[in-house]
Chains A and B, each alone.
Chain A
Amino acid sequence: MNVSPMRVYFDYNATSPLAEDVTDAVVRATRDVFGNASSVHHFGQQAKATMDAARSAVATLLNADLSEIVFTSGGTESDNFAIRGAAEALEPTGRRHLIASAIEHEAVLNTLKALARRGWRTTLLSVDQSGIVSPDRLRDAIGTDTAVVSVMQANNEIGTIQPIAALAAIAHEHGALMHTDAVQSAGKIPVDVRALGVDLLSMSAHKFNGPKGAGVLWIKRGTRMQPVLTGGKHERNRRAGTENVPAIAGLGVAARLAAGKLSVEAPRVAALRDRLEAGILRAVPGTAVNGAPESRVPNTTNISFERVEAESLLIALDLEGVAVSTGSACSSGTLEPSHVLRAMGLAAHRTQSSLRFSLGMFSTEEEVDRVIEVLPRLVEKLRGLTRKTVPA
């Protein structure tokens, strides 16, 4: 085995390590708060109180009302719930059209595909070269039968931030609901549901130092929704199933921590990201940044390495103790060309040579410098392989 002096984790957009206070909260709730939050007795009340604290923290982070927060199992469930729940509620009104951007997470894209198989008309909005959805595109696509518009606030692969408020205004002009997947933005940039003007917003705890298995769908008060999980009367009849109290406790602490230090942490991480990006562009010839440098979350950069198979570079980096990622991984864990970079119109060779570096709470300057140090050698080695690979 390669013995690395240090392991660098730059894959926070995949998942992030738990903040210490979060771990404590999860452990404490697991050990001490075993009650069912639906129970009338002391133990149930204890669990309910734990969830209430978490709900308040999330409401503060999002500038939302307590009653609008529905706990889910994570981002994927929240996205499914938002789109399926709204679609089903609006179906009797004759609205049978759904719109999303072409660069959404699979949780949204495949939910649209599933609904399309059941007769829904779906439209994917194209993005420009920097990965931004223009409001004009939405204006062209939307109609009187559009039920839901779903556009992510920040993209997971390139970090680009979308003009959600402008898109929401257009959706509302046409009587459609606006959903945003804020899984990659919540906890990283200010997310204010009122300022965004959306009706539905998804987030996930583990992307900002919370535990896996906990997420939120924020549902604006008064929004007509059908539950997707049916059963007991949990979460005000909106999401059945005994609540995952320990994970929700962790989510609450993560939300509180994020809200408390966003103004300090965002610029700190941005400075590290910028140092990394500048360092790579300087140290490795044939590199370019993908996305919108002026409008993106502070922790993400996506870089193409000319004449390098991203898959190989990812593995070579891992063998050096550096964890990064390409876009999305498919079921076996292999890499496929990113649908995001393709939607941005990047040439195939560039989509296949791109790596995502995503930083976070525990990232340090030392880690950044380590990556800048090892990359040139690895890239040079991979570029030195002469045999032609099969053209795309």
Chain B
Amino acid sequence: MSGGVDSSVAAALLAEQGHDVIGLSMQLYDQSEGHTSFGSCCSIDDLHDARRVAAAIHIPHYILNFEKQFDQQVISNFVQEYVAGRTPLPCARCNSDLKFATLADRARGLGADAVATGHYARVERAEASGRYLLKRGVDSGKDQSYFLFSLTQEQLASALFPVGDRPKETVRDYARRRRLPVANKPDSQEICFIPGHDYRSFVTRRAPEAARVGVFVDEHGDVLGTHEGIHRFTVGQRKGLGLASPTGTPMYVLALRAADQQVIVGPKSSLERTTLTASDVNWILAEPNQPLRAAAQIRHRHKAAPAAVRSLGDGRAEVVFDAPQTAITPGQAVVFYDGDTVVGGGWID
């Protein structure tokens, strides 16, 4: 229970259905020294909101201290990825490495059969294969299956997403009807541990070596200017480059080269790519032994596009889109869909 409306409603629905529900919240960073500047999902007010909701629906509630685990499993990776010139996706790491791992273990230790969250996604069991399927939430605007692609069969087997089969508005209506204290709380938007979206200073605080001066180069290798560290950029970025384009066309970040601290820039047309490869691929349906047709989604707000997906073995896969896609970003996830069903996904190389 994050203290947001979705996980609150998830808990309330299960309790209403007569399940024996225990509310758990994760404390993800040190609250004791008055750090209140971290962002939304794990601020102390949110923990108190979770507690108030639990009291309102008459379930026990506990806050688990996962500072160390969060730091080692999510924040470190987040920082390292930026230092390496990639754009991380911490929510997906948190889901597979913390929520449905350490937290689920704790829950099992308390006698729980399943772990429910407020994600907009669905889990179904395929009758024929017996495999657990991950599907998009019915509210396409809120769907979070993209962030859950790396859940294993074991993790999916005990996962419950009680709000995944309803639209956000009915979730809010339900919260209001049940008079949950968070019914009108705004949705969280930012990465929970990054105050005010300023991930750049967060990265340099954690990894001062990231703030190394480098150069912008164009596609031909011509140096166009200097920058203060590649962690400040992400593929597809246009704003904040501080570059005057020689031709007057807007310049975009095309790639980041960590080895020589170069930011490659060019016109929007150069951002288009047709192929990508991915690593640490998790196949939720069985790993295909020949190329399959799927819709591949390359970031949270991307409309999955038709592609051919081929397993390369060794946890890797190649994706060839039918049409070029803009700003394929290393570090983000590529998730393969068959209709609403997640076939699998991996981390973009």
| A interface residues (Cβ-Cβ under 8 A, vs B) | 1-2, 309, 311-312, 315-316, 318-319, 330-336, 381-382, 385, 387, 389-390, 392
**Sample of 28 A–B contacts (CB below 8 Å):** A309-B106, A309-B109, A311-B64, A311-B65, A312-B106, A312-B110, A315-B22, A315-B110, A318-B60, A319-B22, A319-B60, A332-B27, A332-B44, A332-B47, A332-B63, A334-B63, A334-B64, A336-B32, A381-B109, A381-B111, A385-B105, A385-B109, A387-B102, A387-B105, A389-B69, A389-B102, A390-B68, A390-B72
Contacting B109 at CB < 8 Å: which of A2, A312, A392? A312
Chain A to chain B: the 3 pairs with minimum beta-carbon distance, closest first = A334-B65, A330-B32, A382-B109
| Measured CA separation A387–B100 after assembly (Å) | 12
Residue of A nearest to B24 (CB): A315
- Kindly list 16 other residue pairs between chains A and B, CB separation below 8 angstroms, not including A318-B60, A333-B47, A336-B32: A1-B58, A315-B62, A315-B110, A319-B111, A330-B31, A331-B31, A332-B31, A333-B51, A333-B63, A334-B63, A334-B65, A336-B65, A385-B109, A387-B105, A390-B68, A392-B68
User: Within B89-111, which residues are at the interface with A (CB < 8 Å)?
Assistant: 101-102, 105-106, 108-111
User: Using Cβ atoms and an 8 Å threshold, which residues of chain B touch A311?
Assistant: 64-65
A1, A316, A332, A334 — most chain B CB neighbours (10 Å) = A332
- Chain B interfacial residues counted at CB < 8 A: 28
Residue of A nearest to B21 (CB): A1
User: Using Cβ atoms and an 8 Å threshold, which residues of chain A touch B226?
Assistant: none
Would you give the shortest CB distance from B107 to chain A, in whole angstroms?
A: 10
User: Using Cβ atoms and an 8 Å threshold, which residues of chain B touch A333?
Assistant: 47, 51, 63
Contact check, A331 vs B73: say whether CB atoms are below 8 A apart: no
Contact check, A331 vs B32: say whether CB atoms are below 8 A apart: yes
| Measured CA separation A312–B105 after assembly (Å) | 10
Residue of A nearest to B51 (CB): A333
B312 CB-CB contact with A under 8 Å: no
Contacting B101 at CB < 8 Å: which of A319, A334, A335, A387? A387
Would you give the shortest CB distance from A335 to chain B, in whole angstroms?
A: 6
B124 CB-CB contact with A under 8 Å: no
Would you give the shortest CB distance from B35 to chain A, in whole angstroms?
A: 10
Would you give the shortest CB distance from A221 to chain B, in whole angstroms?
A: 39
Would you give the shortest CB distance from B99 to chain A, in whole angstroms?
A: 13
Interface majority SS (helix, strand, loop, mixed), chain A: loop
B59 CB-CB contact with A under 8 Å: yes
Residue of B nearest to A2 (CB): B20
Residue of A nearest to B43 (CB): A332
User: Using Cβ atoms and an 8 Å threshold, which residues of chain A touch B32?
Assistant: 330-331, 336
| Measured CA separation A312–B59 after assembly (Å) | 17
| Measured CA separation A1–B16 after assembly (Å) | 11
Q: Mark B102-146, 1 if CB is under 8 A from A, else 0.
A: 100110111100000000000000000000000000000000000
Residue of B nearest to A386 (CB): B105
| B interface residues (Cβ-Cβ under 8 A, vs A) | 20, 22, 27, 31-32, 44, 47-48, 51, 58-60, 62-65, 68-69, 72-73, 101-102, 105-106, 108-111
A1, A334, A335, A336 — most chain B CB neighbours (10 Å) = A334
Residue of A nearest to B26 (CB): A334
Would you give the shortest CB distance from B202 to chain A, in whole angstroms?
A: 21
Residue of B nearest to A3 (CB): B20
Residue of A nearest to B27 (CB): A334
User: Using Cβ atoms and an 8 Å threshold, which residues of chain A touch B65?
Assistant: 311, 334-336
Contacting B20 at CB < 8 Å: which of A1, A331, A335, A382? A1
| Measured CA separation A309–B111 after assembly (Å) | 15
Contact check, A316 vs B110: say whether CB atoms are below 8 A apart: yes
Would you give the shortest CB distance from A95 to chain B, in whole angstroms?
A: 29
| Measured CA separation A319–B110 after assembly (Å) | 8
User: Using Cβ atoms and an 8 Å threshold, which residues of chain B touch A385?
Assistant: 105, 108-109
Would you give the shortest CB distance from B156 to chain A, in whole angstroms?
A: 16
| Measured CA separation A332–B22 after assembly (Å) | 17
Contacting B69 at CB < 8 Å: which of A318, A382, A390? A390
Would you give the shortest CB distance from A323 to chain B, in whole angstroms?
A: 12
| Measured CA separation A303–B220 after assembly (Å) | 68
| Measured CA separation A390–B102 after assembly (Å) | 9
User: Using Cβ atoms and an 8 Å threshold, which residues of chain B touch A331?
Assistant: 31-32, 44
Residue of A nearest to B63 (CB): A334
User: Using Cβ atoms and an 8 Å threshold, which residues of chain A touch B64?
Assistant: 311, 334
Q: Tell whether A316 pairs with B68 under 8 Å between CB atoms, given A2-B20, A330-B32, A332-B63.
A: no
| Measured CA separation A372–B36 after assembly (Å) | 41
User: Using Cβ atoms and an 8 Å threshold, which residues of chain A touch B72?
Assistant: 390
| Measured CA separation A256–B260 after assembly (Å) | 77
Would you give the shortest CB distance from A254 to chain B, in whole angstroms?
A: 29
Would you give the shortest CB distance from A374 to chain B, in whole angstroms?
A: 12
| Measured CA separation A309–B105 after assembly (Å) | 12
| Measured CA separation A330–B27 after assembly (Å) | 11
Residue of B nearest to A308 (CB): B109
Would you give the shortest CB distance from B33 to chain A, in whole angstroms?
A: 9
A333, A381, A385 — most chain B CB neighbours (10 Å) = A333
B27, B62, B73, B109 — most chain A CB neighbours (10 Å) = B109
Would you give the shortest CB distance from A352 to chain B, in whole angstroms?
A: 10
User: Using Cβ atoms and an 8 Å threshold, which residues of chain B touch A2?
Assistant: 20
Residue of A nearest to B69 (CB): A390
Would you give the shortest CB distance from B44 to chain A, in whole angstroms?
A: 5
Would you give the shortest CB distance from A198 to chain B, in whole angstroms?
A: 30
| Measured CA separation A2–B20 after assembly (Å) | 7
Would you give the shortest CB distance from B151 to chain A, in whole angstroms?
A: 15
User: Using Cβ atoms and an 8 Å threshold, which residues of chain A touch B31?
Assistant: 330-332, 334
User: Using Cβ atoms and an 8 Å threshold, which residues of chain A touch B27?
Assistant: 332, 334
User: Using Cβ atoms and an 8 Å threshold, which residues of chain B touch A390?
Assistant: 68-69, 72-73, 102
| Measured CA separation A392–B71 after assembly (Å) | 12
Would you give the shortest CB distance from B26 to chain A, in whole angstroms?
A: 9
User: Using Cβ atoms and an 8 Å threshold, which residues of chain A touch B111?
Assistant: 316, 319, 381
Would you give the shortest CB distance from B18 to chain A, in whole angstroms?
A: 10
Would you give the shortest CB distance from A302 to chain B, in whole angstroms?
A: 19
Residue of A nearest to B108 (CB): A385
Would you give the shortest CB distance from A381 to chain B, in whole angstroms?
A: 6
User: Using Cβ atoms and an 8 Å threshold, which residues of chain B touch A316?
Assistant: 109-111
| Measured CA separation A309–B109 after assembly (Å) | 10
| Measured CA separation A335–B63 after assembly (Å) | 9
Residue of B nearest to A333 (CB): B63
| Measured CA separation A333–B23 after assembly (Å) | 14
